């Protein structure tokens, strides 16, 4: 009877020892992947849809601003050309119109830049959430223990780069999930909920 117990204990120790060895081996070789978020943002259909949406949304204002800038330049050239032949009142009026036009142009340019920056940040935040979700999903499905962002990695063997596989998964999803319709130009910005 003691022999049977010793035998079972011996088998159990061998099995437990084997499990410990396999855990140690698994712990020694974790599955690590690296992903290039910037490439995914640029090359994915979702990223391309965001950039196209931004271009479409702001193109009319950029054209208007460009025309406004050309009008200011034309006024400046006219003043330089005809300034010597103008009366004092005409010259003063032309200079005031030029200053006012230049000030309006600079204000409109600043507003456009601010609006573009705010909208870009909003869309990129949404795109980032989509990409992170896809990377997590891919990592879980493929059994990765750790996935790092390319930007924080000093060295990376190409075998651990999962960017092409995640890009393929994003392409399979299509661009519709991250592309949003631009808000109506007259709509005021939404206020964040108060807590």
Instruction: Give the SS3 label for residue 32.
Output: strand
| pLDDT number for residue 192 | 42
Q: Report d(CA 29, CA 172) in Å as an integer.
A: 31
| pLDDT number for residue 28 | 59
pLDDT tens track for 30-88 = 899 999 999 999 999 999 999 999 999 999 999 999 999 999 999 999 889 988 888 99
Please classify residue 87 by burial: count the beta carbons closer than 10 Å to its beta carbon, then call 0-12 exposed, 13-18 middle and 19+ buried: exposed
Determine how β-strand 32-35 pairs with β-strand 146-149. parallel
Q: Phi, psi (5° rounding) for residue 43? A: -95, -15
| pLDDT number for residue 153 | 80
* Candidate from 7-11, 87-91, 153-157 with smallest mean pLDDT: 7-11
Q: Report d(CA 34, CA 161) in Å as an integer.
A: 5
Q: Report d(CA 183, CA 99) in Å as an integer.
A: 33
Give domain limits for the chain: 30-173
Res. 2: pLDDT tops 50: no
Q: Report d(CA 15, CA 12) in Å as an integer.
A: 5
Average pLDDT over residues 1-25: 42
Give me the CATH topology for the region 30-173: Protein Binding, DinI Protein; Chain A (3.30.910)
């Amino acid at each position: 009877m003691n022999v049977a117990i010793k035998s079972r204990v011996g088998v159990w120790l061998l099995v437990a020892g084997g499990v410990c060895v396999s855990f140690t081996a698994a712990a020694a070789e974790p599955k690590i992947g690296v992903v290039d978020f910037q490439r995914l943002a640029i090359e994915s259909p979702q990223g391309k849809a965001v950039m196209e949406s931004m271009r479409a949304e702001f193109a009319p204002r950029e054209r208007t601003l460009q025309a406004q800038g050309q009008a200011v330049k034309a006024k400046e050239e006219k003043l330089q050309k005809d300034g010597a032949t103008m009366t004092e009142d005409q010259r003063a009026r032309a200079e005031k119109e030029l200053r006012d036009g230049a000030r309006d142009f600079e204000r409109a340019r600043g507003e456009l830049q601010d609006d573009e920056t705010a909208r870009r940040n909003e869309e990129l935040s949404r795109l980032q959430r989509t990409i992170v979700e896809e990377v997590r999903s891919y990592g879980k499905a493929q059994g990765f223990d750790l996935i790092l962002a390319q930007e924080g990695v000093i060295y990376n063997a190409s075998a651990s780069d999962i960017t092409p596989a995640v890009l393929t998964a994003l392409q399979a999803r299509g661009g519709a999930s991250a592309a949003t319709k631009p808000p109506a130009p007259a709509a005021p910005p939404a206020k964040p909920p108060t807590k």
